[in-house]
Amino acid sequence: MDVKIEESWKKQLAPEFEKPYFKQLTDFVREEYRKHRIYPPGSLIFNAFNLCPFDSTKVIIIGQDPYHGPGQAHGLCFSVNDNVPLPPSLVNIFKEIHDDLGKPVPATGNLTRWAAQGVLLLNATLTVREHQAGSHQRHGWEEFTDAAIRCLAQEKEHLVFLLWGAYAQKKGAFIDRNKHLVLTSAHPSPLSAHNGFFGNKHFSQANHYLIAHHQSPIDW
């Protein structure tokens, strides 16, 4: 199957595109876009991969589901388009960056600038029906994104995985902690941020690790 995705990822994930589950997933997603309002726009489903090639990836942040409100999702977890109000979890992420690194809170929630530096902003599920959180879960996306994480964990060394909340931690449970830095904490959601997300200092820890392994730090 010819999937429109960045070339280095296309090479890594080629076996997935030929598996029965991916054909079923493609059929399901195509039908959903035909019948319903789905986010993100079809051209941005693989935006996380297209903006952060496999060979450039240094940090992986795992989210769960795209935003399901109009104009928010653009294929990067936690990120929203320019001129869209900051979602609560992203407000808390920026607050932690400010407390950790002293950086001012940006005016935009568009995290494309992180992706350009090698941060893979990967949701476990890459599509969602408008106003129906979780509506595209358990249709094959999780298997596909597991494969992407496995490729990174097996083929590369000294990556940083930021696993916020129980869902992301379970998804990243197989990652070799001797080969990569795996940082875990509560989720940045207002429901849980005060239970360990605030004060986790993941952003400075990630940069210290990258520098220690001769890689450029992320300008968060």
The answer to whether the bond into 40 is cis (omega within 30° of 0) is yes
pLDDT at 86 over 90: yes
| Position 71 pLDDT exceeds 90 | yes
Burial per residue of 44-73, b for 16 or more beta-carbon CB atoms within 10 angstroms, e otherwise:
bbbbbbbbbbbeebbbbbbbbbbbbeeebb
Residues annotated as part of the active site: 65
CA gap 22, 167 in Å, rounded:
22
Residue 140 has pLDDT above 90, yes or no: yes
Helices 202-212/88-101 angle, 10° precision: 60
pLDDT at 2: 85
* Arithmetic mean of pLDDT over the chain: 97
pLDDT digits (tens, 9 = 90+) for 102-130: 999 999 999 999 999 999 999 999 999 99
Of the pLDDT bands very low, low, confident and very high (cuts 50, 70, 90), residue 1 is confident
End-to-end CA separation in angstroms for the chain? 36
